[in-house]
C-alpha cells in the first residue's frame, strides 16, 4: 500500500539510523507484520499489544504528521 510506504519511509530515512537497538528491532518486527495489521496500526486507531512495537508505531505516526 502506497500510504504505508510513505509513512514508513519517512521514519526510516530520518530516524532509523539514530534509533536504539530496541527500537530498530521493534521496527523490523513491525515491517514483518501483514499489511492489514500495518494499516490498522499506522493509519488506523489500533495499538499493538507489544509495547516495544507500540512505541515505534507512535514514533512512525509522529514522523508522518510532522
Candidates 64, 13, 58, 2; CA nearest to 35 is: 2
- Predicted local confidence at residue 20, as pLDDT: 98
* Grid coordinates belonging to 4: 504505508
Question: What percentage of the chain's residues is helix, strand, coil (to nearest 5)?
Answer: 75, 0, 25
CATH of residue 38 = 1.10.150.250
φ and ψ at residue 48, rounded to 5 degrees: -60, 150
- Can you tell me the mean pLDDT for 2-31? 95
Range of the domain at 57: 2-65
Band the pLDDT of 65: cuts 50, 70, 90. confident
Number of domains observed in the structure of the chain: 1
Per residue in 27-60, pLDDT (tens digit) is 999 999 999 999 999 999 999 999 999 999 999 9
- Predicted local confidence at residue 2, as pLDDT: 85
Amino acid at each position: 500500500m502506497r500510504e504505508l510506504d510513505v509513512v514508513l519511509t519517512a521514519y526510516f530515512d530520518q530516524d532509523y539510523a539514530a534509533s536504539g537497538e530496541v527500537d530498530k528491532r521493534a521496527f523490523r518486527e513491525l515491517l514483518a507484520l501483514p499489511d492489514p495489521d500495518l494499516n490498522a496500526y499506522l493509519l488506523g486507531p489500533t495499538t499493538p499489544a507489544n509495547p516495544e512495537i507500540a512505541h515505534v508505531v507512535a514514533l512512525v505516526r509522529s514522523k508522518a504528521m510532522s
